[in-house]
Chains A and B, each alone.
Chain A
Amino acid sequence: MSKPKVFEKPIGVRDYLPNAVAKLRRIEQNVLDCMRRWGYEQIITPTMEYYDTVGVASSTSDQKLFKLLDPRGTTIVLRSEMTSPIARVAASLLKERPFPLRLSYHAGVFRAFEDEAGRDAEFFQTGVELIGDSSSEADAEVIALAIASLRAAGVPAFKVAVGHVGFLNGLFQEALPGRTEEQEALKECLLQRDHVGYRQTLSRLSLDDQVRSELEGILRLRGGAEVCEQALGLSASREAQAAIRQLCEVWDVLGAYGVQEHVLIDLTMIGDFSYYTGINFEGYASHLGFPVCSGGRYDNLLSQFGRPAAATGFALKTTRILEVAEDDTPAEGGRTLIVYTHEQRREALQEAERLRAEGLLVVTEALDAASPEWGGLRERAARVETFEHRGADYDSLLVYGVGEEARP
């Protein structure tokens, strides 16, 4: 590649200009505050972790991790998500704290360069982990909190699709007992979202016709509570039945939270089978082609850090939410400009300090009384109106200079 031009940044990273930062901070504050009111305490973990611990435990595939070498030659990764760092903390620094732990975070995470498709190399995630509670109530709490957080973030219209990895696991084991390779092939198709490939694979397998059409039918298991009913009839497998019962329970709890209108049941929604162990979910906003949140139950992760525990959580893709969130907070009012000549510097700066202590935003500027702008500003100070000065808007103007003082 040719030498970068001076304005260029590495692919996949962004600058955030003042307007975007203000909006991002408001979203972050509102969401973290929402999480705090549900009893989740915010923690901060380091940007860098060891590859052999957090890197390996992470759900991010190996080639998407940013890897570095420290001076001793140990491989370091830039965190690619926050769940495994938090698992590490829960199993070490917080190991004396009894379960359940409710933790929240807002952090930049890193994924190795990808050329396109809105996949940033660095982006913000805001999320929670609920560790040490395996109940359906906990699953529902996390989903309900995800919905509350999307609302707090100002996402105008969204749906959360909820699935369960146990259903397909159980169904496939029952339909194809002992034929693990074929089960894997079918799961791989679903994971790749390749429904054509799924049907083609099914048609190649030697199967009872009824079983085949049932397995084809799962592609339609999307909707509301009625999907659970249909699914219950599909498989007698204990694992699948347990998964559906759990899903029904979660659905009921979400009803009690009053958020069912935002929830779809989707049994074709497949997260990473090697990572998620139960209920998993994804949030979608209209006007955005990529999911805005994802989460689920991961009961095997904590044991990798020496403190086995059930856990569930989610992350909001805050950087993407920034693009769709409605920002109804009015622009902050009360910007004051104080201009002064050197004779009245002390008075001017002290007034500025007093106004700032009152919470106003004050910009000060020294001017020469002989400068061409001085007269115009003096005159303007007599009028009460918003005005523009050097590219910024102000609501009021104070002028301190040459023995006289003008106030609006």
Chain B
Amino acid sequence: MMHQKSVLRVVSKLLIPPILLFALYVQFHGDFGPGGGFQAGVIFAAAFILYGLIFGIANARRTVPASATRTMLALGVLLYAGTGVWTMLLGGEFLDYNYLASTPIAGQHLGILLVELGVGITVAGAMMSIFYTFAAQTLDGDEDIEEEV
């Protein structure tokens, strides 16, 4: 069934790498242009969701296992809150990025980068986890899927 949709397969194969690259651009260029962690996370997840839709959920799970998306989910929040705790350990208040580097501006840059990365990781993990969960409901009879849920 999936093998017959050659147009979709070829087009998605061409599109997925630029989508991932664009997600990284939006993530790390959010300080200068529109975008940031939330949008980047969604675009990053969209690339894997597109892969899952075209090449099957089992292949998508082999690329990014469900356990990895759940780890990402927690990791992002930990990175965000951890940045806040780190600034406290350095003598500032919670999420006061001025203490992260030698000058306040450099500290703000580093802090925003870390925090946006945390948001991006959590959002990407959340979107992929939700997609996997919905997809697993549809393919209930498949033994391979049930093993990994």
Partners in one complex: no
